[in-house]
Amino acid sequence: MIVYSLIFVLSIGGVLAMLRRQRQEFGQLTFADFMENLLGEIREIWETRLRDKFYLFLEKRLRGIRIIFLRVETKLSRALARLRGIKEKNGNGGGGGNGVH
């Protein structure tokens, strides 16, 4: 807990030192300008770095999900074929006199 308190105090001290050095810029800063600049930087980072990586990540995950669904479909088809085989082996379940009680 002492370590965290020390980190907190040093962080506050660093912020105060930055504000003292940049007093004029801090006085001119408005929230709207700050948000506009922040959104511009985020948009630039998205366009230059993250968009292609995100689409590649999404494509890989969707391909993996598709493979899982195809495997499930194959297993269900095999199970259905086995059930049909059992049904045909037992004579379709109709009382045709083939020894089924």
pLDDT in tens, 60-94: 999 999 999 999 999 999 999 998 888 787 776 55
Reading the block at residue 33, the tokens are 């300008």
Alpha-carbon radius of gyration of the chain:
34
Q: Which range has the worst mean pLDDT, 3-12, 52-61, 66-75, 92-101?
A: 92-101
Nearby residues of 85 by Cβ (< 8 Å), 6 or more positions away: none
When pLDDT is cut at 50, 70 and 90, the band that residue 48 belongs to is: very high
How many C-beta atoms surround the C-beta of residue 91 within 10 A?
13
Helix (H) or strand (E) segment spanning residue 60: helix 51-89
At residue 43, does pLDDT exceed 90?
A: yes
Residue 101 has what pLDDT? 47
